[in-house]
Structure 1
Amino acid sequence: MTRPTPPTRGEELLLARISAAAGREHLGKRRATYGVAAHRTPAHAAPVRGIRALLAFVRYGRSFAAKARADARLDLYEHGMTVAAKGRIHVVRYDTTSVFQKSTRHHPYVWGRVGTTRAYTLTDVEGKRIVLYIGPQDSDGEDGGAADWWLEIRRAVTHAQLSPALAALDAGERLTFGDVWLTRREVGWGEVSARWPEVRQIEITHGAICLDTGGSGHRRHTTGPTVSGIPNLFVFRALVEHLRTDGAHS
């Protein structure tokens, strides 16, 4: 029987730092550890658009593809997670984090085949951002190729934030998810709004929120903000389903 390889001194020191950071934020018991592709991003990083984005893609696409491998350590706990990347420990609490999702379709010459990279940007307890990636090589199978760690993060954040959000709505508060807002009575963005009994469905179409309202013969589809600008999209969708169902029965 082959014995497991003992941890190196460096690995022991890293684990001690991770455990100490998790303890300071009361994350509870460690549940799982993963190797992930990750990098830090400035808190107010401006998006690159137009020709600059194209040039950046052409110039750095291949090098990014080569680097988007498991170069960080992700530890999942009862109440949060840690990401150890490039010598820094990021601590994220499920009940306070904001998670942004973005999918990018790639040309075969970048990854060797057509595929989609999924980026998940999370805010840590200090307000800094850390980006976790799922590359095309992991994008097959159920749920769009979502990795096990992402499914667990999504479940845990929803569990931690859904009940407080519903309580806030019951207290008459208005919640915002990026440019989208909702109350117990209605949902909307900009100059668009609809009462919940009028809402047939809110879905994602071509990367944007789409509001489907009205009855048979009078249905209206209104396209709203892109999902990449909506924090905790999965919490928003859980709230929508709850409020839409309640509205249909009111």
Structure 2
Amino acid sequence: MSDGTSRDRDEELLLARISAAAGRAHLGRRRATYRAEPYGATARAGRGAATRWPTIRWQAIRWPAIRWLRRAVAEAACRSRRADGRAEANTGARLDFYEHGMTAAMTAAVDGRIHVIRYDTTVVRRRRVLSPQGVVRAHVLVDVEGEPIVLRGGDFGRPEVWGPEIRRAVTEAQVPLALAALAEGARLVFGPVWITRDEIGSRETSLRWPQVQQTEILNGSVAICVAGRWQVLRSVASGIPNVFVLHALAGHLTGAERDDD
């Protein structure tokens, strides 16, 4: 069998595995594929996490502690440094985007697994991590088995497309669920920041939505404008989880308060 035919067969088998994994998670129709770039090592799956990610319950949601995430990102960076100069280690890795989630197929040099992410249950943080090209932007997601996955900008083609697509899809999937939970009286916690249908706050601060004129995201932190003055709510080194979902919810809640006036 020629090398070309062997590669084609490997590609067919990988696609079959990806399709089967996506089907089991009910991700729907495939929409786009982004293949690994030909340099460096591919996106790293965080290993050795001590805590599994719990099933999301919107009645009393609280994101888990971030210790395991820091360890996962650190281990990913170490593997990245060891992989410098081995461009072939990236061959075959790919991201596949579906209606309700995505898959990240890792090479044998990483873990050989296909990680499945659902938009309605994942948690996303944006970080800066090491790569063969230096410090780059990365998305750290949690798969359906509770493991963090580090997807670095530059490991896969067109990160300027798939990065915003992840944030858009997660926001669209989670905001309606969160709004419904808030309407029932839930308190939603995003790391150090919490919200209810009436208030937004952190450990030191609590403000009612009618007081909030505007909400923005600054370097992963939440900034709010009250009486024409800006203040930054408490932030954490790893970034606020799903901060873009929080931003969208703040937009809904401040707008709803003004509509009620």
Sort the TM-score into its range (normalised by shorter chain): 0.7 to 0.9
Q: CA RMSD in A?
A: 3.2
Partners of 1:61 and 1:99 in 2: how far apart?
A: 21
- Asked whether the 8 Å contact 2:105–2:115 carries over to 1, the reply is yes
Pairing 1:80-159 to 2, within 5 Å after superposition: 80-86=101-107, 87-103=112-128, 111=133, 117-135=136-154, 147-159=160-172
> Contact (CA 8 Å) 2:205, 2:233: kept in 1 or not?
no
**What is the letter of the counterpart of residue 235 of structure 1?**
V
How many angstroms apart in 1 are the aligned matches of 2:94 and 2:80?
24
SS across alignment from 2:231: strand
Q: TM-score, normalised by structure 1?
A: 0.76
Q: CA deviation at 1:64?
A: 6.7
Match of 2:251 in 1: 241
Compute the displacement of 1:137 (Å): 11
Higher RCO (C-alpha 8 Å, min separation 6): 2
- Runs of 4+ aligned structure 1 residues displaced above 6 Å come to 59-62
Secondary structure of 2:122's partner?
Answer: coil
The one-character-per-residue Cα deviations of 1:131-178 (angstroms, maximum 9, x if unpaired) are 10114999xxxxxx9521122221111111111111111111111111
* Counterparts of 1:20 and 1:136, CA distance in 2: 24
Paired residue type of 1:237:
H
| Alpha-carbon distance in structure 1 between the residues aligned to 2:128 and 2:175 | 24
Structure 2 segments unaligned to the other structure (5+ residues): 37-41, 51-67
Could you tell me how far apart the structure 2 residues matched to 1:94 and 1:137 are?
Answer: 19
Q: Secondary structure at the match of 1:130?
A: strand
Aligned in 2, Cα 1:189/1:24: closer, same or farther, shift over 3 Å?
same
Number of residues paired by the alignment?
A: 224
Identity over aligned residues, as a percent? Answer: 49
Report deviation, 1:244. 1.6
8 A contact 1:181–1:188 mirrored in 2: yes
Letter of the 2:182 counterpart? L
Unaligned runs of at least 5 residues, structure 1: 139-144
Distance 1:233 1:223, change over 3 A: closer
